[in-house]
Amino acid sequence: MKVQTITTTPFSGQKPGTSGLRKKVNVFQQARYLENFVQAIFDSLDNFQGKTLVVGGDGRYYNQQAIQIILKMAAANGFGKVMVGQNGILSTPAASAIIRKYQAFGGIILSASHNPGGPEGDFGIKYNISNGGPAPEKVTEAIYEHTQTMGEYRIADLPSIDLSQLGAFTQETFVVEVIDAVSDYAELMETLFDFDRIKELFQSGFAMRFDAMHAVTGPYAKTILENKLGAPVGTVMNGIPLEDFGQGHPDPNLTYAHELVEIMFGDNAPEFGAASDGDGDRNMILGNHFFVTPSDSLAILAANAHLSPGYKDGLAGIARSMPTSKAADLVAEKAGIGCYETPTGWKFFGNLLDAGKATLCGEESFGTGSSHVREKDGLWAVLFWLDILAARQQSVAGIVRSHWATYGRNYYSRHDYEGVDSHAASALMDNLKHQFEKLVGKLFGNYEVEFCDDFSYTDPVDNSLSSNQGIRVGFTDGSRIVFRLSGTGTEGATLRIYLESFESETAKQDLDAQIVLAELIQIANEIAGIQKYTGREKPTVIT
């Protein structure tokens, strides 16, 4: 195998964020751009000679070309083996599961998650470590430093590998194994949930729709729901991964998964509906004319986890990101287990899962997961719901309402102001920080401010401190308003406002969240001066 060392120069702006490096496709298509980043990944790792790397992506445009480059570079840099999903496909949670199962050194996942694909869309690359989770900050920092200083990359003259055929390709001591993208993941799901019980549910005529949004979960959902669990063919919609996701925006929420939403809120709606995003880590859960907020979903999964084989011995603890509603805390409290409030972003859950402190984790942004992998997992959440529906023989709405009756309801909403001027957004946050003292004890109608702070988190495992993670305004009745600037946006700033209020009375638990939260929305405007700073009358997106 001939290895070439090619001279290169650093590119600016190759700084990976918490979800890796994400850019427009045409940026990645520049000569040496991908190669530089891949070499920077390898240069930041030690002792991987002869070891195994897992590679796969969400099937978006440029996935296949990128994989061929990565295979040649992995060979040149001394990996012994690369396991790659058939047709270059691996969902993010499946990649995590495969890294763990085969004790691989790490993995490269090609995805820009829920962002649109196609030649005009986005592409992305991220590195996951041997626990199956995203690289921690010290690794992404090292990658970035290498991108800034590197002068060459190494590439081998392997022929292009046919990724459509399962099997091994060997060149001297280097092996590429094209693996079934679904089977290891499906096997893992079978250990967690009672497949026989779910099969019976489908046999009894239970109807569901799963919207794969033309993205990576199509083959996973078809194999598991239709082939293994016997759901009728057609249960999975938009199930063939397309390079441009059918020109859609593969983000499972009420706005972008509108095709599914119309079915679930239409005549003859099925009992259960769900969707997942581009790379398969997000989920949305719907019942017949019913939307389950991700915060409630986490709490309900936690409260019912003992019904599923994988969690029958109970949970070690529950972790949620700070802006996620406190519904899960109430479940943890009743169960007498640990509850962790982390900053936004999945990476903060990794240490808690590795240390056995938490079993379930979730974010309000349609992300839920557990210790079975080190990524959030969309289809896992869907199967968890199915297992609970099969065990309880109740409707989705029935399960949610009975949860509220037991624990109370945390009314919840997120208001996003997208594409705001960055300076204006920072000024708004600074202004809020200067008001903390003045606000405490202040009355707004029925609401009295109990505390204000800028959330910081000390990791209970490694004691690392993360500050400036969002402004919390807490009221004496337990209501909250949280203000944060998004860390993932690409244009200007996105201001996120999270609103939460608690209702213990069953008779008042079936109201419209926007109406219940109207007074808090008003207070948020008043204390933050949203209109004044952003010039906006109303949010761009309300969830």
Question: Is 17 a residue that touches ligand G1P (CB under 6 A)?
Answer: no
Do 340 and 333 contact (CB within 8 A), yes or no? no
Question: Is 422 a residue that touches ligand G1P (CB under 6 A)?
Answer: no
Instruction: Give the position of tokens 């509108």.
Output: 258
Phi, psi (deg, nearest 5) at residue 189: -60, -35
Do 264 and 329 contact (CB within 8 A), yes or no? no
Comparison of 397 and 424: residue with beta carbon closer to ligand G1P: 424
Q: Name the E strands within 180-336.
A: 208-211, 236-237, 272-276, 283-287, 290-292, 317-321
- C-alpha 278/C-alpha 442 separation (Å) is 44
Binding mask 264-303 for ligand G1P (x = CB under 6 A): ----------------------------------------
Beta bridge partner(s), residue 474: 451, 480
Give the tokens for residue 88: 């270059």
- C-alpha 327/C-alpha 310 separation (Å) is 22
Comparison of 6 and 541: residue with beta carbon closer to ligand G1P: 541
Q: Which among 158-166, 267-275, 488-496, 516-524 is the span making contact with ligand G1P, rule CB under 6 A?
A: 488-496
Give the tokens for residue 483: 């203000």
Comparison of 121 and 310: residue with beta carbon closer to ligand G1P: 121
- C-alpha 87/C-alpha 64 separation (Å) is 8
Smallest distance, ligand G1P to C-beta of residue 487, A: 4
Going by their DSSP bridges, the two strands 208-211 and 81-89 should be labelled as: unpaired
Do 398 and 122 contact (CB within 8 A), yes or no? no
Binding Zn ion by CB under 5 A: which of 39, 113, 115, 217? 113
Binding-site size, Zn ion (CB under 5 A): 4
Question: Is 496 a residue that touches ligand G1P (CB under 6 A)?
Answer: yes
Phi, psi (deg, nearest 5) at residue 71: -60, -45
Question: Is 281 a residue that touches Zn ion (CB under 5 A)?
Answer: yes
- C-alpha 372/C-alpha 175 separation (Å) is 28
Binding ligand G1P by CB under 6 A: which of 14, 77, 253, 486? 486
Binding Zn ion by CB under 5 A: which of 194, 277, 329, 377? 277
Binding mask 459-478 for Zn ion (x = CB under 5 A): --------------------
Output the CA–CA distances (angstroms, integers) from residue 176 to 115, 126, 151, in the order listed. 29, 20, 27
Comparison of 363 and 377: residue with beta carbon closer to ligand G1P: 363
- C-alpha 283/C-alpha 298 separation (Å) is 11
Q: Which among 86-94, 258-266, 454-462, 485-493 is the span making contact with ligand G1P, rule CB under 6 A?
A: 485-493
Cα 495 to chain centroid distance, Å, stands at 19
Sign of CA dihedral 234, 85, 93, 196: positive
Smallest distance, ligand G1P to C-beta of residue 414, A: 8
> Which residues in the 352-411 window bind ligand G1P by CB under 6 A?
363, 365, 367
Question: Is 19 a residue that touches ligand G1P (CB under 6 A)?
Answer: yes
Q: Which does 486 bind (CB under 5 to 8 A by kind): Zn ion, ligand G1P, none?
A: ligand G1P
- DSSP string covering 426-468: HHHHHHHHTTHHHHTT-EETTEEEEEEEE--EE-TTT--EE--
Q: How many CB atoms lie within 10 A of CB 214?
A: 23
Smallest distance, ligand G1P to C-beta of residue 100, A: 21
504 is catalytic: no
Closest CA to 379 of 369, 371, 364: 369
Do 135 and 45 contact (CB within 8 A), yes or no? no
Output the CA–CA distances (angstroms, integers) from residue 20 to 17, 123, 345, in the order listed. 5, 10, 12
Comparison of 287 and 323: residue with beta carbon closer to Zn ion: 323
- C-alpha 108/C-alpha 114 separation (Å) is 18
Phi, psi (deg, nearest 5) at residue 109: -110, 125
Question: Is 455 a residue that touches ligand G1P (CB under 6 A)?
Answer: no
Smallest distance, ligand G1P to C-beta of residue 323, A: 7
Do 440 and 419 contact (CB within 8 A), yes or no? no
Comparison of 317 and 378: residue with beta carbon closer to ligand G1P: 378
Question: Is 279 a residue that touches Zn ion (CB under 5 A)?
Answer: yes
> Which residues in the 327-356 window bind ligand G1P by CB under 6 A?
344-346
Q: Which does 223 bind (CB under 5 to 8 A by kind): Zn ion, ligand G1P, none?
A: none
Question: Is 412 a residue that touches ligand G1P (CB under 6 A)?
Answer: no
Binding ligand G1P by CB under 6 A: which of 131, 488, 509, 525? 488
Question: Is 283 a residue that touches Zn ion (CB under 5 A)?
Answer: no
Q: Which does 363 bind (CB under 5 to 8 A by kind): ligand G1P, Zn ion, none?
A: ligand G1P
Selected catalytic residue, list 91, 111, 113, 365? 113
Closest residue to ligand G1P using C-beta atoms: 486
Comparison of 87 and 283: residue with beta carbon closer to ligand G1P: 283
Binding ligand G1P by CB under 6 A: which of 10, 167, 232, 487? 487
Instruction: Give the position of tokens 């996701």.
Output: 245
Residues 6+ apart with CB under 8 A from 491: 418, 419
Binding-site size, ligand G1P (CB under 6 A): 13
Smallest distance, ligand G1P to C-beta of residue 20, A: 11
Q: DSSP label at 212?
A: -
**Strand, coil or helix: what is 196?**
helix
Smallest distance, ligand G1P to C-beta of residue 282, A: 7
Comparison of 112 and 264: residue with beta carbon closer to ligand G1P: 112
Q: Which among 36-44, 53-61, 131-139, 483-491 is the span making contact with ligand G1P, rule CB under 6 A?
A: 483-491
Catalytic residues: 113
Binding stretches for Zn ion (CB under 5 A): 113, 277, 279, 281
Binding stretches for ligand G1P (CB under 6 A): 19, 321, 344-346, 363, 365, 367, 486-489, 496
